[in-house]
Structure 1
């Protein structure tokens, strides 16, 4: 696949940085791909250990769930990781839809249409109910029984944004020209344009997922790391320390196995 990794307009003399003594791993949209998430976390842990002591933060950029087959197991794995490591979870638009659908029957239809059906089937919910129920309220009540309260509580703790040094981590992006403390949660979770095409300085480098690209997109003002795990079989993490940046990626190989790769960001 042609490498589209690129940087535009970055002044190396004023390279964005993470504070001394810290290290960050930001993980793109998982979308229920436990087969990619598990080896990626193992490689991140090994990479972190190999690089020596640091105050390490793992930032999950949201959309752990939906579309892929193992959303319940991904949430469980994220919870287990957070119990032993410093993990910051961002709320993606898919987590927002799930949480709203738990209480709002009219949100359930778009949730199911955009990958929520696969999430519900990863929990002990009768698939026959999804196929035959003509009352969305029945499905909503079944969701509340099937999805563990601890999973819901964990997802409800998701943050809107995380700022570390010169980097801002969000799920989708930000509204250009709007102060960070005035950004709407809707934009942080759903925006595409005008964020993606905006070339101006945001006052930080925005690291985001949400919008799938063929490869990681590196710009002077943003880095997009959603490589479409649920259908491309590629899950990407961006690692940051000082002014250094590198990528760790798991992917499904042609023979069906899963391999891990690392590469630097120039």
Structure 2
């Protein structure tokens, strides 16, 4: 039976991401499985205190050959757009709004983000300050990943459309059309994007976003077939279907 690990939204919470990987290491030690992939569901940046350190961890892990899959979240995509001079300035500037949290991300790189600084000046400074390796990582994030009976993505899928034909926009942005649909989607959809107080298993989907962007934890699970356990300091805790 295939085993996979998955980590929910991080949002600049460096210490909590480290803690999630420590829980995976402990589970690997118990099972003797050093090869099962760790799927990161995206939204590595924004709102939290140290997005730069989060991207540093991800880049270092990939360089060391860790079996990690890095998916794209909508916040990661907005950061990429902000650093891309081809994207119109007005569109890119939405990343800086308080609701999104891009200013906190820039601050983690040492960019001065005083509220009165114009977006175009911040953009120029950010393009000089954010390391090329971080920009490269944002360009190479995957929209989705399928392994056995599980389909991983950041936000969800468009119901009724084959998984191989999903649009990238839906995979990183969709909400109610997916969240409120009770149908089986041909695989268990493991996603984040919509924060809640706990990991929730709805039968056809599992949501791992537990609000790290608002001070909540970064949650991590292990999946075998379609069975899901949350990893805790005390070991595995089954995530039950709430239907």
TM surpasses 0.5: yes
CA distance in 1, matches of 2:55, 2:217: 18
Structure-1 residue corresponding to 2:70 = 89
Query: Is the aligned partner of 1:126 residue 2:112?
Result: yes
Which digits, 9 at most, give the CA deviation of each residue in 1:44-102, with x for residues without a partner?
11211221135310000000100001100011011122223111101100011011111
The list of structure 1 runs, each at least 4 consecutive aligned residues, that deviate by more than 3 angstroms after superposition, is 259-262
Q: Does 1:163 align with 2:146?
A: yes
Separation (CA, whole Å) in 2 of partners of 1:118 and 1:213: 22
Residue 264 (structure 1) aligned to one of 234, 238, 241: 238
Within a 5 Å distance, the mapping from 1:1-266 to structure 2 comes to 20=1, 22-53=2-33, 55-84=35-64, 85-103=66-84, 104=87, 105-113=89-97, 114-127=100-113, 130-134=114-118, 136-249=119-232, 262-266=236-240
Structure 2 unaligned residues grouped into runs of 5+ = none
Q: Which whole-Å CA distance do the structure 2 matches of 1:173 and 1:143 have between them?
A: 30
3-state secondary structure, aligned to 1:56: coil
Measure, in 2, the Cα distance between the counterparts of 1:92 and 1:243: 23
2:145 & 2:135 partners in 1: Cα distance? 21
TM-score normalised by L of structure 1: 0.83
Q: Are the structure 2 counterparts of residues 211 and 261 from structure 1 closer, same or farther at C-alpha, using a change threshold of 3 Å? A: farther
Gap regions ≥5 residues in structure 1: 1-19, 250-258
Aligned residue for 1:176, secondary structure, equals coil
Q: In 2, Cα distance between the equivalents of 1:71 and 1:261? A: 28
State the TM-score, normalizing by the size of structure 2: 0.91
The equivalent of 1:254 in structure 2 is none
Three-state SS of the structure 1 residue aligned to 2:221 is strand
Residues 232, 132 of structure 1: alpha-carbon distance in 2 compared, 3 angstrom cutoff = closer
Separation in 2, partners of 1:236, 1:261? 13
